[in-house]
């Protein structure tokens, strides 16, 4: 669980880095993205600590998520700000499902981890709401775009559990 969550939070920081590289920092959307990115930094820092404290091997795919995350962020931002928001919409939809499943699997086995996942999940859902407030659903080809990104997330999650 820690390996895949660490990979996901790392990927999130790379997506937002790619979006901010394209959008700069001046628009309202960029401001919102920067705020979400700061939260992803905190999520990643927490999972960095879990990796160290519990001796978990990070995914070997990290160099790929580094590039793929940034590319996804940059590509969606190049389409439009609303497409960048649709990317967050798609990613957070899958992450919410992923964290919900983990919390069910954890039960009361690991209260420390469960508390962090509960908090992060709430923040991811807030990102989803913010993305929709900023017009994610008005992005060009929203169903296709989010469908593709969601499928990519599911593949990335399964691979990061195993490799």
Task: Detail the residues annotated as belonging to a binding site for Fe cation.
Answer: 9, 40, 43, 92, 124, 127
Looking at the Cβ atoms of 10 and 142, the one nearer to Fe ion is 10
Report the nearest approach of Fe ion to the CB of residue 136 (Å): 13
The residue of the chain with the least Cβ separation from Fe ion equals 43
Provide, rounded to whole angstroms, the least separation between the CB of residue 4 and Fe ion: 13
What SS3 class is residue 91? helix
Q: Is the dihedral of CA 136, 138, 139, 141 positive or negative?
A: positive
Give the whole-angstrom CA distance, residue 84 versus residue 77. 5
Q: Which is nearer to Fe ion, 6 or 127 (CB)?
A: 127
Among residues 32, 40, 81, 89, the one that binds Fe ion under rule CB under 5 A: 40
Interacting residue with Fe ion among 6, 82, 121, 127 (CB under 5 A): 127
Examine residue 32 and tell whether it contacts Fe ion (CB under 5 A): no
Distance CA 102, CA 22 (A): 34
From 2-10, 48-56, 100-108, 135-143, give the range in contact with Fe ion by CB under 5 A.
2-10
User: How near is the Cβ of 101 to Fe ion at its closest, in Å?
Assistant: 16
Site for Fe ion contains 81 (CB under 5 A): no
Give the dihedral of Cα atoms 86, 141, 21, 159; nearest 10 deg.
70
Asked if 89 and 137 count as a contact pair (C-beta separation under 8 A), the reply is yes
Do 77 and 136 meet the contact criterion of CB atoms below 8 Å apart? no
3-state secondary structure of 61: coil
Q: Count CB neighbours of 162 within 10 A.
A: 10
Q: Could you tell me how far CA 159 lies from the centroid of its own chain?
A: 15
CB nearer to Fe ion: give 108 or 119. Answer: 119
Q: Which of 124, 128, 146, 160 binds Fe ion (CB under 5 A)?
A: 124
Task: Give the interface with Fe ion as residue ranges (CB under 5 A).
Answer: 9, 12, 40, 43, 124, 127
């Amino acid at each position: 669980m820690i390996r895949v969550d660490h990979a996901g939070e790392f990927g999130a920081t790379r997506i937002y880095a790619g979006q901010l590289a394209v959008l700069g920092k001046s628009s309202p959307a960029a401001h919102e993205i920067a705020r979400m990115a700061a939260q992803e930094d905190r999520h990643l820092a927490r999972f960095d600590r879990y990796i160290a404290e519990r001796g978990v091997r990070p995914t070997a795919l990290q160099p790929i998520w580094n590039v793929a995350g940034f590319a996804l962020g940059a590509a969606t931002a190049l389409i439009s700000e609303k497409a960048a928001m649709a990317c967050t919409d798609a990613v957070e939809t899958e992450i919410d499902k992923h964290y919900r499943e983990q919390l069910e699997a954890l039960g009361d086995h690991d209260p420390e981890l469960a508390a962090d996942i509960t908090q992060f999940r709430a923040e991811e859902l807030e990102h989803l709401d913010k993305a929709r407030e900023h017009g994610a659903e008005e992005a060009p080809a929203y169903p296709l775009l989010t469908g593709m990104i969601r499928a990519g997330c599911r593949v990335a999650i399964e691979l990061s559990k195993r490799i």
